A and B are shown apart, each in its own frame.
Chain A
């Protein structure tokens, strides 16, 4: 609990009072980050070999006192949560340290650290949540914090747009997640994970379309947050945030949440749902890899590679090997954070160097065509990059090798267990993605660190100072993270993940009868086979990129904007533009939605109000007619009556002239009339 509060309190203090604190409160953020990490580590040591802890209390309850519906809140600390806690707090801490140097001098320096605190707090609340409702709240808060951080430089239009896009696409996934939660609640009247797991294992509910739909609903949340196909489009745009934020999003906080959700809800997925998850994951792995091939932006390449790696994790989930996915989540977190922070160092260095140039505004600091030869200028960064590179490409002795291998052999075994050759497409595409990863990472490596520096300025000016290539505050986190890409931190035998402490002992998800994993352990053949194949493919990818980009024909002094912005080859352009998904969405959803809004507003104004005005007019016209009628006929009638009685009176007056003869005449006439009437009738 305290763990959750520490970064949150830091957020509050920094947000409201940050500017008044000495050095704008960065020390406070780092301090709270450190405290969180230490607390997490203590928790980890207690939980990992001990028993899971569960604290819960009633948050609020509905209904009468005799019969209530309780909504609980609580903390569930098991091995999975403990590992994730350490991971998140560790990476957040390093990123905070890095940011002190990176964000130095920013207008809203203290606010930045405040947002970081909120981000971490939200992520921790997802990890600790013992029920899905609480998890959902943390989930949305992560979205909110990412909205703030991606749009941190809100004066840049692109940043404001990117943050909007990220939040909306996440919300779209959240709608599905929410409906999935409702589906579970409708079945079991609870959101509590432990209770749900118990009822799933005890009642063994019949596998139905309804359950599959629930599973897919939950998975929608993951598609949104973990940038799976077809909703991955927000992640590359999220680069508009400060680079350390990208590192945080890509490594520890945001995208990891989706995979964590799948692990937490693993028992609720039906085989059909898992198959769809596997397919989506595979598509994501492939599409991310393809899209990364020809990008020029240093961060964009990394962003697509994250999509691809997330696809791997989801594929592992779908093919019945959640522990391998989580393992990959953790290894990936370290090397991806390292890569992003290295990109941060490079961008920072470019920025520093370019400030000396007169035309520096036009030069893209993030375009890899503007770099080159940085291995001599930034040697420590270069070595760190090589370590992280080994991790992501999956070379032996690096962590990525272990985790990718675990996922791929799991997928292979899964495909073998099915009676249809089509299932092998999934591990096959996984292997292709390994090749793609090796290719585009090598391309980046060559563009950035090899060859000669391609801008017309002294590369020495890129260094922080003559003695240091970059600020120590930036280098230490990078080096730590890069070292953690080595396999030896995870397993004694660098070729067998199962020998490691994290992955081997069925530690992360002990509640699952992990049959598949055991099957792989027994079937050593698959394991060796996949290890060999993936290593070969990785090397092939490296070699291919090496031969293609070894002798770069880029002119020194020619800035990247002089080259065409997009590849000329249509297929390459197709992948470069991310298969035109953005354009498709704009055309198929955003425009129609806005159009519908306009139509509805038009309907409101013209049809509903129009009818209203029409009736109003009828009423007014009717009133006028009645008024006219009133004046002419009713008043007229009254006037007529008045006139008539007046005339009658006149007549009567005439009759009463006072002459006897005339009275006699009238009497006679009257008598005649009476006689006549008697005769006639």
Chain B
């Protein structure tokens, strides 16, 4: 399989195209096609997962081809590549997308859709573009997929959503569009500053190797029309590939508003991804989008789409600007802790169960930021673990809310009491999901949060970046997490069975159906498995995390003084 990664992206796209050709009265066929595509993606992602070799630090399954290029006279050569690859950071995300993709289709099965054809085609488009984001190693390609995610999401919320769907869809769209804009600005800046050394050497007719070309570049011996500008992310992470005197060169003394250009560029890029994660205070699109989105789309949104923002930090913002990331580590960790506590307090105040869970997502994604900013192997591994684990857990959480909503068309906490007596099997999965989310040992969330907090705590002695107070404050997040979940549990599920009179359907409520079991049981098993056997994931992920930490710290700490020296 030479084109495993391409298949992961194009298979769902192809099926989406086929679905458009199927007459819309064959609903069953459309559903089966979608399910088949999602299942095939899962199989492919599993194949990638199992053949991935964690001990090899380089990108694997690389596919690289010139896509298009332009000679822009003296400015140089404009190069865009079709460049895919996975490493320890992305492999976990690929697997997660594969798993959640199938769950999402299953949960769409009985959705009362106005236009199933459009819905499932858009769903597959969404799946493909998310996958593309995780696989792209060319920033242009990444940006393309990143923008492409918006389109199906906008329509999926705006057409198939709840009562306030237009508002939520527009809010989501505008928020993320602003984020994309930030990313675009920095992308252009990077593009003007970075060259591809090998392509440049070929173009200039030099027989020099990569290092020699980089040397020639840094000493100004390359003619500017021969420079091949690139969007390649690996090229952007090497300081030697930056054109001397360009905007984002390490030793460029350009300042914007009195800030070194690189620091500012990092902040802008960070802001772009932070909106997607989302980080407090740019998170308010999330609760609205979740509340209005249909269940499967909420699942996709929480489990996979939010991860793209954090993944962008891992893949692009941090490695491209290591010194800025180190410089701002306390700021980022502070935002992480703020998100953890702010999200948790908001969740405590919510009266809508789905909104409560949406805010808990904000809180849990704060752990990712904190772990990332700790620059320790524990913290970064924990952050990736949290991405994966939160993907599974939040999928389950939104599914159980969906189960309730399907029965009563209501999600108000005050509308129900004592559901445990009426729906025991359902309650079992609610308890599993809630306790997984609040970090009970033996379930995957515990390992993630433990490692993040451990990393944040040891950062003070390991690399001196973060104060211990960040970990201390964040640890109270796990107390608050227990508070809002158990309180909701007590109010909705315990006590004598009672439902608000206007919600009563007259029939005895049905406990879980076979299809619902089919979605919830695998998730519960996965959550348990990754809670008891963390090495399943960590063996693949943590070498990359350690490598990430090492390069970030060594480059960040050497680059930062050099850059700051230039300032007056």
Contact = CB atoms under 8 A, between A and B. Distances in A.
Contact of B442 (A59, A141, A155): A141
A175 B418 contact: no
B460 A186 contact: yes
B496 interface: yes
A490 interface: no
Contacts of A137: 441-442, 446
B479 interface: yes
A178 B542 CA distance: 22
Contacts of A593: 345, 348, 480, 483
A178 B453 contact: yes
A154 B421 CA distance: 9
B435 A144 contact: yes
A185 B476 CA distance: 19
B413 interface: no
Contact of A63 (B450, B453, B493, B543): B543
A231 to B, nearest CB: 12
Interface string B331-343: 0000000000010
Nearest to B544: A64
Contacts of A660: none
A164 B348 contact: no
Contacts of B489: 164
Contact of B487 (A65, A164, A183): A164
Nearest to A619: B174
Contact of B418 (A136, A155, A612): A155
Nearest to A154: B494
Interface in B282-333: 284
A179 B474 CA distance: 11
Of B346, B377, B480, B534, which is in contact with the most chain A CB atoms at under 10 Å from its CB? B346
Contacts of A609: 284
Interface stretch (A279-287, A511-519, A597-605, A621-629): A597-605
Contacts of B487: 164
Nearest to A610: B284
Contact of B441 (A61, A136, A171): A136
Given A67-B546, A154-B494, A608-B284, A186 B349 contact: no
B349 A597 contact: yes
B543 A157 contact: no
B457 A59 contact: no
A147 B377 CA distance: 34
B346 A160 contact: no
A151 B494 CA distance: 9
Contact of A175 (B479, B496, B545): B479
Contact of A65 (B55, B281, B451): B55
A616 B171 CA distance: 10
A182 B441 contact: no
B471 interface: yes
B495 interface: yes
Contacts of B538: 60-62
A141 B542 contact: no
Contacts of B482: 167-168, 171
A466 to B, nearest CB: 37
Interface in B449-477: 450-451, 453-454, 457-458, 460-462, 471-472, 475-476
Given A63-B542, A136-B441, A182-B471, A594 B349 contact: yes
B378 A175 contact: no
Interface in A45-76: 59-65, 67, 69
Interface in A276-316: none
B414 interface: no
A69 B378 contact: yes
Contacts of B543: 63-65
Given A59-B534, A59-B535, A141-B442, A64 B479 contact: no
A141 B496 contact: no
B268 interface: no
Given A59-B534, A600-B346, A608-B281, A186 B420 contact: no
B91 to A, nearest CB: 16
Interface in B263-286: 281, 284
Contacts of A161: 490
A150 to B, nearest CB: 11
A669 B467 CA distance: 89
B457 A182 contact: yes
Interface in A176-197: 178-179, 182-183, 185-187
A671 interface: no
Contacts of B171: 612
A596 interface: yes
B502 to A, nearest CB: 23
Interface string A121-139: 0000000000001001110
A61 B489 CA distance: 35
Of A156, A159, A178, A182, which is in contact with the most chain B CB atoms at under 10 Å from its CB? A182
A172 interface: yes
B348 A594 contact: yes
Given A600-B349, A601-B350, A155 B494 contact: yes
B33 interface: no
A179 B477 CA distance: 13
Contacts of B8: none
B476 to A, nearest CB: 6
A140 interface: yes
Contact of B478 (A64, A175, A185, A608): A175
Contacts of B472: 179
Contact of A140 (B440, B479, B495): B440
A155 B546 contact: no
A69 B542 CA distance: 10
B441 A597 contact: no
Interface string B526-556: 0000000111001100110111000000000
Interface in B401-452: 418, 420-421, 435, 440-442, 446, 450-451
A65 B539 CA distance: 9
B241 interface: no
Given A59-B535, A62-B377, A67-B546, A182 B483 contact: no
A161 B538 CA distance: 38
A182 B349 contact: no
Interface string A579-602: 000000000000001101110110
A400 B534 CA distance: 45
Given A62-B378, A593-B483, A160 B495 contact: yes
Nearest to B457: A182
B400 to A, nearest CB: 18
B471 A160 contact: no
A154 B495 contact: yes
B486 interface: yes
Contacts of A171: 478-479, 482
B381 interface: yes
Nearest to B171: A612
16 contacts: A60-B534, A138-B441, A140-B440, A141-B441, A155-B421, A155-B496, A160-B494, A160-B495, A163-B490, A164-B487, A167-B486, A168-B483, A175-B478, A175-B479, A179-B457, A182-B453
Given A60-B535, A160-B495, 17 more contacts: A62-B378, A62-B538, A62-B546, A136-B441, A140-B440, A141-B440, A141-B441, A154-B493, A155-B494, A161-B490, A178-B453, A182-B458, A593-B345, A594-B349, A597-B348, A600-B342, A612-B171
Closest 10 pairs between A and B when the two form their complex, measured CB to CB: A160-B494, A597-B348, A137-B441, A597-B349, A60-B535, A601-B349, A182-B457, A63-B546, A154-B494, A600-B345
Interface of B: 55, 171, 174, 281, 284, 342, 345-350, 377-378, 381, 418, 420-421, 435, 440-442, 446, 450-451, 453-454, 457-458, 460-462, 471-472, 475-476, 478-480, 482-483, 486-487, 489-490, 493-497, 533-535, 538-539, 542-543, 545-547
Interface of A: 59-65, 67, 69, 133, 136-138, 140-141, 144, 147, 151, 154-157, 159-161, 163-164, 167-168, 171-172, 175, 178-179, 182-183, 185-187, 593-594, 596-598, 600-601, 604, 608-609, 612, 616
